[in-house]
Structure 1
Amino acid sequence: MADHQESEQEEGSIGPVTLWCLVAGGMVGGGIYTALGVVVALAGQWAGLSFLLAGLIALPSAYNYCRLTNRFEKSGGAFQFLEEMDHEGLAGSLSWILLLGYVLTIALYAFAFGHYLAFAFHGGSTLTRVLALGVTAALIALNLLGVGKMKSIEIVSVVGNLLVLLSLAAYGLAHFDQSALVSGIEPQPLWAALIGAASIFVSYEGFQLVTYEYDQLKKPGKNLTPMVVSGTIFVIVTYIAVALGATSLAGALTIIEKKQVALSLAAFKAWGQPGLVALTAAAGMATLAAINSTLFSSANLAARIASDGELPALFEKRNGSDVPWAGVIILGTLAGILSVTGSLSVLVETASLAFLFTFGVVNLIAHRVLETRRWVSVVGLSLGGLIGVFLFLRLLLSATFALAGFIVLCILIFVGRPYILKRVKTDG
């Protein structure tokens, strides 16, 4: 079977270089723009360590995602893994939570897009909301027309984004001022890095989007694991460098007080108005691409789930452009609403909780299914469980309403999902 699959995918459209760019872009696309101010507020001078710890959970999760995808030779990610183990009910419930995480992530990226562009044009909250809603609506429309996923444009966006971020990081590290990491704030204890890591875990969620395009990969058995793992390592290093460099330039207090546009202030500090223009362009391209790829992939994942009767059949229906229109409209609209009603910290932390849970399940599946290197799963489960507890307690104390809403939604998904599916049409 594996040989047959490999020969069929010899001419897939996604080669190793494109795959690597999609992995790196899927994570860096919006992650650092939204997470830096949040993590500095929580971890202070240990923000770089927080990105490292979160990355050490993402890395085994990415490795296991790839091994399981190659093992089952199908797209679908965690949903497909559970289906292959004959846990259809659990697969359905987990997929709903995963889609909720994607809605929160799209909202987070739209939030960042609105704030970075509005800041550059000296706009207020009204312009920010208009931009956030506008970009979401525009990408819903593009996806419905069937032109949402253009990999060449996405790769150009990734390269441009990385060039600006790495230049900013290099400049900041070349002029590194350690005192700026605690400028205007109280130094944080070492354990604060755990809280920071938990809160910004969503910054690493993008790698698994490529597993939903398994059927389009060239030689996935050969390319998927090394490209995803190396891409994840690169992103970890990039995040740490940007966290240290940007905070050194702007100062911790400024990063916290202006966390919605933290990197813009660092770029302005480094290079003045040209730096602000370059960073705004990079942020716009990156968040635009991240919204687009997440919306495209999540809508297609919803269609895949609906085809197995675990979502209403409406999500499976496609328009004349072969686009699952209901998923695009429903998921995109929910994200647009959240982007103008949620706070940055709540969006980041709630999305992080959703992905910590999902990746924990994937690591557990890998530990049960894969015969070798089970220690990788143990590392992912142990670190993920530890910072998951920290994040839960953090939300319990600082965002009780948001946490309660998330828990209620999860309970409704696990308990009420079968009842809902019985009441609605689940076959085409």
Structure 2
Amino acid sequence: MTQHRKRNKELGLPELIAIALGGMVGGGIFTILGISVSMIGNLTPIAIIIGGLIAALAAYSYVKLGLYYKDEGATYSFFKKTYPGSKFSASMIGWFIIFGYISTLALYAYTFSSYAISSTDFADNVLLRKLIAVGVVGLFTAINVWSVNGMGKIEDIMVYTKLVLLVIISVVLMQHGNTDFPTFIDNLVTDAENSNFFSILIVASITFVAYEGFQLVINAVNEMTNPEKNIPRAIYSAITLAILIYVVISLGAIFAIPTENIIKNQEYALAAGAGEAIGSLGTNIVILGAILATSSAISGTVFGSSRQMAVVAKDGYFPKGLAIRKNNIPRNAILCMAACASLLILAGGLELILEFGSITFLLVSLLMAVANHKIRAQTNSSTLLTTLAIIGLTIGGGLILYYELTTKWGEMVSILVLYAILSVGALIFAKRKEKREVAE
């Protein structure tokens, strides 16, 4: 998630596409690849495409609501304005979206640390991986607190460089792979016979978090040219490009890296596989790409979501202290987000963080689809598409919960406990706000 910072010029279509891509291609592919292959093997590219289609359905409501409200507050503001009479709804969406960002911050930091030590003797040391992840969160927290402008200047460089590196990684892996296209097709047919469409849908739902970030375009609505045309063009173009990038990366890995190695080294599969396929140079390119991808995503997530947290706090749905800014920097919100992300990293592994993030953004996207369906006449939205979005996102969230229940009930309990805590927190602050308004 990147590119929330203030711009000195109006944004055109290429810049808006870069904003969305910078948000989506932020370490997600490095994280989801190993998990996806371990579950459905060579069918992973198909699941990635389906996940992208679900993201496109979710984006439809964001586009329509963005054009209707033209509010840079995006998700939180859309829901608050659509349901102005419900304090709890506004509070809930604020809590869910912020903690969704916190989960992706934790996910990016965990991926950063996994790749940073992937070529060392400590690659499988889970405790060290978590400590490094907490440390990198602390590093970018300090940068955002003390030198936001300096970070902003190198952010674009990181975004574009990581995209170039991802393409290089894909091409090199496919050229040096031991698997040719006919063999890949044979393996694909075998995996299809041994799997079922239900499993593909589960993976597509779990990987949804890799597409989170397209809505960042809407945060720039006040700084863009021709939003009526450029918002939909930018979002749909970015999702299409992200699908292509993810599919090419996954194909490169599958062609070059034995499936058992991808599964064995889930959390840094690309680095391990590239090293075996093309030597230390391949490993170093992958590690550099992963570090750049996650660094830009961590920085942008801390920057943008902390400001959203400050806005929610200003409205009374978080502690008021989180709304305080110094030199326009919400330092308390930044520190709070970093602390929560660090606790999530220490408490759970990669899959727990990934699944919590995917469920959260599926849920938030579902709420946006419901909101858009409610005012579809005003937003000039298709009843069919809004209904399909609601159905698709509901199924996606349900599939992740089903997967957790049947395979890792302990993680599901953890996720449900997190949601219960968020709901109780949202309810408490909604009731406090109602009492204050009555007293006034």
TM-score (norm 2): 0.87
Return the alpha-carbon distance in structure 2 between the equivalents of residues 395 and 20 of structure 1.
Answer: 34
The residue identity in structure 1 corresponding to 2:70 is E
Secondary structure of the structure 1 residue equivalent to 2:197: coil
- How far did residue 415 of structure 1 move? 4.3
Contact 1:172 1:248 in 2 (8 A): yes
The residue identity in structure 2 corresponding to 1:164 is L
1:44 and 2:41 correspond: yes
Contact 2:7 2:223 in 1 (8 A): no
1:352 and 2:349 correspond: no
Q: Which runs of 5+ in 2 are unaligned?
A: 1-5
Return the alpha-carbon distance in structure 2 between the equivalents of residues 11 and 22 of structure 1.
Answer: 15
Contact 1:146 1:323 in 2 (8 A): no
Contact 1:43 1:195 in 2 (8 A): no
- How far did residue 384 of structure 1 move? 1.7
- How far did residue 152 of structure 1 move? 4.5
Contact 2:98 2:305 in 1 (8 A): yes
Q: Give the corresponding residue for 2:374.
A: 368
The residue identity in structure 2 corresponding to 1:33 is F
- How far did residue 14 of structure 1 move? 3.4
Counterpart among 159, 176, 199 of residue 192 in structure 1: 199
The residue identity in structure 2 corresponding to 1:158 is V
Q: Residues 228-243 of structure 1 correspond to what in structure 2 (within 5 A)?
A: 228-243=235-250
Return the alpha-carbon distance in structure 2 between the equivalents of residues 351 and 148 of structure 1.
Answer: 28
Q: Residues 95-110 of structure 1 correspond to what in structure 2 (within 5 A)?
A: 95-110=94-109
Return the alpha-carbon distance in structure 1 between the equivalents of residues 391 and 58 of structure 2.
Answer: 12
Cα deviation 1:40-75 (Å, max 9, x = unaligned)? 122222111111111111012123212211210111
Cα deviation 1:234-276 (Å, max 9, x = unaligned)? 1011112211221221122111110110111232234211111
- How far did residue 121 of structure 1 move? 3.6
What RMSD, in angstroms, separates the aligned Cα atoms of the two structures? 2.7
- How far did residue 127 of structure 1 move? 4.2
Q: Give the corresponding residue for 1:269.
A: 276
Q: Which moved more, 1:296-305 or 1:384-393?
A: 384-393
Q: Give the corresponding residue for 2:93.
A: 94
The residue identity in structure 2 corresponding to 1:39 is S
1:396 and 2:405 correspond: yes
Q: Give the corresponding residue for 1:70.
A: 67
Q: Percent identity?
A: 27
Q: Which moved more, 1:105-114 or 1:388-397?
A: 388-397
Q: Give the corresponding residue for 1:56.
A: 53
Q: Residues 3-22 of structure 1 correspond to what in structure 2 (within 5 A)?
A: 12-22=9-19
Q: Which moved more, 1:64-73 or 1:276-285?
A: 64-73
Contact 1:103 1:335 in 2 (8 A): yes
Secondary structure of the structure 2 residue equivalent to 1:119: coil
Contact 1:57 1:379 in 2 (8 A): no
Cα deviation 1:100-142 (Å, max 9, x = unaligned)? 1111111111001001011134434254234212211011111
Task: Classify 1:183/1:168 alpha carbon distance in 2 versus 1 (closer, same or farther; 3 Å).
Answer: farther
The residue identity in structure 2 corresponding to 1:352 is S
Contact 2:316 2:429 in 1 (8 A): no
- How far did residue 416 of structure 1 move? 4.6
Return the alpha-carbon distance in structure 2 between the equivalents of residues 68 and 76 of structure 1.
Answer: 11
Q: Give the corresponding residue for 2:158.
A: 157
Contact 1:40 1:47 in 2 (8 A): yes
Q: Give the corresponding residue for 2:310.
A: 303
Return the alpha-carbon distance in structure 1 between the equivalents of residues 436 and 220 of structure 2.
Answer: 24
1:26 and 2:23 correspond: yes
Task: Classify 1:375/1:36 alpha carbon distance in 2 versus 1 (closer, same or farther; 3 Å).
Answer: same
Task: Classify 1:82/1:73 alpha carbon distance in 2 versus 1 (closer, same or farther; 3 Å).
Answer: same
Return the alpha-carbon distance in structure 1 between the equivalents of residues 391 and 318 of structure 2.
Answer: 32
Contact 2:369 2:386 in 1 (8 A): yes
Q: Give the corresponding residue for 1:6.
A: none
The residue identity in structure 1 corresponding to 2:48 is F
Return the alpha-carbon distance in structure 1 between the equivalents of residues 97 and 266 of structure 2.
Answer: 26
- How far did residue 426 of structure 1 move? 8.7
Contact 2:107 2:353 in 1 (8 A): yes
Q: Give the corresponding residue for 2:334.
A: 328
Contact 2:76 2:94 in 1 (8 A): yes
Q: Residues 244-283 of structure 1 correspond to what in structure 2 (within 5 A)?
A: 244-283=251-290
- How far did residue 222 of structure 1 move? 3.0
Task: Classify 1:409/1:345 alpha carbon distance in 2 versus 1 (closer, same or farther; 3 Å).
Answer: closer
Q: Residues 134-213 of structure 1 correspond to what in structure 2 (within 5 A)?
A: 134-147=135-148, 150-174=151-175, 175=177, 176=180, 177-178=183-184, 187-213=194-220
Task: Classify 1:149/1:63 alpha carbon distance in 2 versus 1 (closer, same or farther; 3 Å).
Answer: farther
TM-score (norm 1): 0.90
Q: Which moved more, 1:353-362 or 1:368-377?
A: 368-377
Q: Give the corresponding residue for 1:79.
A: 76
Aligned residues: 418
- How far did residue 277 of structure 1 move? 0.8
